[in-house]
Amino acid sequence: MRLAQHMAVASERVRATAIEATEFPELSRAYQVMGVPKVVINDRVQFEGAVPEQDFLGAVLQAVGPA
């Protein structure tokens, strides 16, 4: 969440939501959360675990790129 929230401050385009998985089991099921942290970007790109800033940015750019 740390990188995501800094990205939200860096750009008006970015919205970051931290979701406490055990409090929202339906959302967690809908997004097939098995391990945490799990990151889902634009419901299109997802990954598990902490990643370096460059990889996180790569996932963001992939999520807005052509399908």
Partner 1 sequence: MNAMAILTERDRAAVRKEFEKLTGPVKLVVFSQELVAGDLCRQNEQLVRDVATLSDKLTVEVLNPAIDRERAEPYRVDQVPAIAVGGARAYGIRFYGIPSGYEFSNLIDSIIVASTGEPALSEETKASLQALAEDVDIKVFSTPT
Report the interface residues with partner 1, using CB under 8 A: 1-24, 27-28, 31, 33, 36-43, 53-54, 57, 60-61, 63-64
CB of 34 to partner 1, least distance (A): 10
d(CA 47, CA 55): 10
CB of 31 to partner 1, least distance (A): 7
Q: Counting Cβ atoms within 10 Å, is residue 39 exposed (0-12), middle (13-18) or buried (19+)?
A: buried
CB of 56 to partner 1, least distance (A): 8
